[in-house]
Structure 1
């Protein structure tokens, strides 16, 4: 009887230990690092002209920005991952006036959901957001090297790397090379975090700075420019919803056109974000505090750490001018941040709403 009672006690204790471990794993235990990766391309932009069938093609500046937010454990295995793709177009008329509504906020493929329209041409009848969710699930528990080693097959020139593994054959037919590259960059740029339970990705997309063919107030010619500003933030939150750490960047991507409606930007070049440009961005020349954009955003990130989103949203700001409607007006940031912060705060807020 004593032996039976002892065995029962040991079994109960063992079960409680495993149950405790399981609840920790489910709540995000194991997150040691988090990072953000992004890949931007303007290769799909179009010149004014005609297609192979003689049909007129109007000019389009297209900016594709893949964004990957990821959390990793101490062994470099993916704990959580969120992938999205901002495929943003600025369309022009034949006379190079703007056809697009540049006041409308851009949406990513995940945000478009069923309206993206991939399902119509999908052999597996799955939308983009459904396919990317399956890819994310497959990545969890693997290292970046294991993920890069995924067996793939070339379907056609537009789909050079379609998964050729049993777990994904019936659920993912998109080409995955850009998403894997984004994850690899997230790992390379990852920062250490302690106490993180969830990771969230947020973004704000604007084409408002795009220009049509015309003249400025001094009568100088202005050539068409499709400008897409993609603000992105990957944020780690603790069990109380406080920011553990956040990584913010801005892909300010321009597609330039000539008077003939032809793209003059190098479509093969991979545009850089403001952080990647570093000192090359050139803000310091006009900065009253002599700090570059990446330096200012690093100070804003530090300020956000340890605060809840509502506290961050409650930051006192001041309007400097129409281009700077929300400049920090708090003691901690007055001497270090002069950029307008409304979009960066909005991206962190969205990250909190979508955190997993």
Structure 2
């Protein structure tokens, strides 16, 4: 009995000692939550945007007859290639959209304009399947499909790498068809003009504010300043095919606000004599209003003594930080029939006196087309 009691006492003492030596319990803690998954970055790497363009009139035609004796009617044809391109800090292409405004002004044998002066004129991309190249295509792809493949190929490359593309001459009309494995079954159009437009976009690129996630190409085309031949009261008016191609490359942030935009206008004239012969140099260099700079000559008629390129730069600055809806809501005033929408906002009244409706339309289209 005593032995049993001794054992019990020893055990009780041992437990007491162990309890006294143990550390006090740590207070209960709430487990730290697992880190939230990182949100996708809005940073596409865009630091600059450029607007490139190449204009030619060499497909224009004189009044005459062809080799089979059939009548050839006068034609003023203006082809303007447009490229909106975004570049990263290393000069590599991040975004690119290429299009071609192939605009025709037709005349009859009396040298009167037969094209609809008020019609909507579409680019090759806008025409889509209606352009009709697929029937003559060895790979059964339309122009817009082929240019989309070329754009994809350009992504991630520098302009030097793009210019170094291996090409082959298919015929006189196709001197530079891609000859690289990635494109031989996808692109059979000649690409020299498109590459030149992208190169120009790079050379004239400007920095944009941080946060650009998309880039759009916008444009609108008008031929309403074209004229047929007339002679009245000793005043002779010679035939003129005039194509005005407004174009813009505009970058937007994730909220759809403009972070940078470039706007230009290719005002291209094809002149004819009274016999219906083209008198404009078919191989000439055709510059836009921005490229003409002071040579455009608007300053002499400007009430604020600013050239076109200076005024369009101020309009572009005003657009930065605004949504397309805010831009379209700009208050304007009609100065005269040729200036139906001149800015009427305090920031621009002393800086912009040109009519801005077509430029705003082009930026709105750029937003709709942005990618």
- C-alpha separation between the residues in 1 aligned to 2:333 and 2:228? 31
Matched, 1:176 2:186: no
Gaps of 5+ in 2: 1-33
2:54 maps to which of 7, 25, 39? 39
Provide the residue aligned with 1:143 in structure 2. 158
Q: How does 1:55-204 map to 2 (within 5 A)?
A: 55-193=70-208, 194-204=210-220
1:312 maps to which of 318, 321, 327? 327
Q: How big is the shift at 1:215?
A: 3.6
- C-alpha separation between the residues in 2 aligned to 1:98 and 1:345? 29
Provide the residue aligned with 1:51 in structure 2. 66
2:223 maps to which of 207, 214, 217? 207
RMSD, aligned α-carbons: 1.4
Provide the residue aligned with 2:346 in structure 1. 331
Q: TM-score, normalised by structure 2?
A: 0.89
Matched, 1:239 2:254: yes
- C-alpha separation between the residues in 2 aligned to 1:85 and 1:160? 18
- C-alpha separation between the residues in 2 aligned to 1:104 and 1:250? 18
- C-alpha separation between the residues in 2 aligned to 1:173 and 1:65? 20
- C-alpha separation between the residues in 2 aligned to 1:123 and 1:49? 33
- C-alpha separation between the residues in 1 aligned to 2:68 and 2:146? 33
- C-alpha separation between the residues in 1 aligned to 2:185 and 2:67? 34
Runs of 4+ in 1 over 6 A off after TM superposition: none
Gaps of 5+ in 1: 1-11
Q: TM-score, normalised by structure 1?
A: 0.92
Q: How big is the shift at 1:32?
A: 1.3
Q: How big is the shift at 1:124?
A: 0.5
1:300 maps to which of 315, 323, 341? 315
- C-alpha separation between the residues in 1 aligned to 2:212 and 2:238? 47
Q: How big is the shift at 1:28?
A: 5.3
Secondary structure of the corresponding residue to residue 280 of structure 2: coil
- C-alpha separation between the residues in 2 aligned to 1:199 and 1:110? 16
Secondary structure of the corresponding residue to residue 346 of structure 2: coil
Q: How big is the shift at 1:196?
A: 0.6
- C-alpha separation between the residues in 2 aligned to 1:50 and 1:28? 58
Matched, 1:286 2:318: no
Provide the residue aligned with 1:4 in structure 2. none
1:272 maps to which of 282, 287, 293? 287
- C-alpha separation between the residues in 1 aligned to 2:48 and 2:308? 24
